[in-house]
Amino acid sequence: MAQDDPVVSAQWLHEHLGMPDVKVLDASWYMPVENRDPWKEYQVAHIPGALFFDLDGIVDRTTDLPHMLPSEEALAAAISELDIKNQDKVIVYDGKGFFSAPRVWWMFRVFGHKKVWVLDGGLPQWQASGFNVEKASPDDDAVLKSIAANRAVKRVYNGEQTNTISFQTEFQPNLFWALEKVAQNVTAKTYQQIDARAKGRFDGVAPEPREGVRSGHIPGSVCVPFPEMFDGAPPSLLLPADELRRKFQHAGISLDRPIVVTCGSGVTACILALGLYRIGKRDVPVYDGSWTEWEGQSDSDYPKVTAPGTA
């Protein structure tokens, strides 16, 4: 484990599993079209001792946008219910290997927790390494803690009393961008904008997975699809630093200039942030609302590129 690298190996986690200051989170989440239930899958098979982190439950409850970053108080209340302390090392994984876990890695960092890593290759790599998984029953402590975390978020947004908050947060504004910051950058072009979605969605020729959302991209953006961060053989592992550098440079990205990352709804952008962290770019902000929010704004105030060759 290294502070300057964002991932840990399955072997490392296996050797340190059960240590009191190592907390493991299953942050599995899937696109709506996949028809998969991460909560049910967690109860069928998860890394021993892991708690479930609900990306659709630990959210900003004041917006209709999917899984937006919750308030500091809400996040702190949820993490406290998961019994995670500021001194703990947090290891996050997901059921695909690299998909939603980097989002939770980013969330912890946005709120000031630096002792957080993604499990390289996720649950597929864990199982491919021959390590055991366990089931959960409805009355298990891990299940009850995960349910309590979601309820804590609801209580905060309802203005109700929460349990004692033991996890302290410190918001890092340099890692989080909202709509207007992106709008300013479209004009100023200070930050290079990288979009993690597939090229077809970026170009406006393949549909978005969310009903009513046009495909296309924010003007000035460059497409680096998130699977390019991994090696080819399943289970996918994060590429070495030199290969990651080549990927970004091949896309025309200058690693000497600032970068902001975006995607469809703020999840896979965090995979790009993870790759950039490995090559030393540790202050890369994520546009939380991403294309789903941007596309929903007026075209006159928030221009879009919705087909090849258009501005």
Sketch the domain layout of the chain as residue ranges.
7-158, 176-296
Q: What is the pLDDT of residue 32?
A: 83
Q: Class for domain 7-158, per CATH?
A: alpha beta
Per-residue confidence in pLDDT tens, the chain, 311 aa: 667 899 999 999 999 999 999 999 999 999 888 999 999 999 999 999 999 999 999 999 999 999 999 999 999 999 999 999 999 999 999 999 999 999 999 999 999 999 999 999 999 999 999 999 999 999 999 999 999 999 999 999 999 998 899 999 999 999 999 999 999 999 999 999 999 999 999 999 999 998 899 999 999 999 999 999 999 888 999 999 999 999 999 999 999 999 999 999 999 999 999 999 999 999 999 999 999 999 999 999 999 999 755 44
Q: What is the pLDDT of residue 203?
A: 96
Note whether 252 and 224 are within 8 A (CB).
Answer: no
pTM of model > 0.95: yes
CATH number of this structure's domain 176-296: 3.40.250.10
- Catalytic annotation, residues: 263
Nearest to 260 by CA among 160, 168, 184, 171: 184
User: Alpha carbon of 191 to those of 8, 55, 185, 260, 292: distances in Å?
Assistant: 29, 28, 7, 6, 20
Residues in the chain: 311
Question: What three-state secondary structure class fits 305?
Answer: strand
Rounded to an integer, what distance in angstroms lies between the CA atom of residue 294 and that of residue 264?
A: 10
Output the six-digit token pair for 303: 């221009």
Nearest to 244 by CA among 205, 272, 203, 285: 272
Output the six-digit token pair for 220: 């000035």
